[in-house]
Amino acid sequence: MDDQILKNKLLDMVKQFRDYDYHAYLFVNSAVTYTVNKIGRNNAGSRHVTGQELIDGSLEFALAEYDAMAPHVLQYWGLLAGSDIGTIVYRLIGENILSASPEDRREDFDAPGNDLIRRLNAMLAQRPRPAINRDNITPLV
């Protein structure tokens, strides 16, 4: 889809619904592409991903794009739960920006435990911290 057409469709959705930031729509659309590319195609050539795979891929994409700021960025845009990603995905489907298979359901994004901010913070806490060479640090006092 042409970038200008996509931008216009997303801006129209923001004006119509007013519950998510424009960048949330861009993010989810990009996260779908990231997740599909990461998972790859199955033998039939399908690029289908499940709701849970898309939520997990969105979290990975957020960390890759925004690092430690990812929880703050998603919260600012109103993306707090997997259901928020699902809402945007189904709006993008409604505008023919994304497509769904017959077995897809909006409820696939509503599983408990999909608090995006909590999950991002947990993922950040599990990452190793870089070693600091304190030999070259001058004390502030």
Does residue 128 surpass a pLDDT of 90? Answer: no
The confidence band for 45, taking pLDDT boundaries of 50, 70 and 90, is low
Q: What per-residue confidence (pLDDT) applies to 112?
A: 81
Contact 48, 35 (CB under 8 A): no
According to DSSP, the residues that pair with 81 across neighbouring strands are: 115
| Helix (H) or strand (E) segment spanning residue 76 | helix 70-77
Q: What per-residue confidence (pLDDT) applies to 15?
A: 94
Q: What per-residue confidence (pLDDT) applies to 43?
A: 46
Mean pLDDT (whole number) for 89-118: 91
pTM value?
Answer: 0.84
Mean pLDDT (whole number) for 30-55: 82
Contact 107, 54 (CB under 8 A): no
Instruction: Supply the DSSP symbol for 19.
Output: S
**What share of the chain in percent tops pLDDT 90?**
68
The confidence band for 133, taking pLDDT boundaries of 50, 70 and 90, is confident
Does residue 44 surpass a pLDDT of 70? Answer: no
Could you report the per-residue pLDDT of 69-83, keeping only the tens digit for each?
A: 999 999 999 999 999
Size of the chain in residues: 141
Domain boundaries, the chain: 3-39+48-125
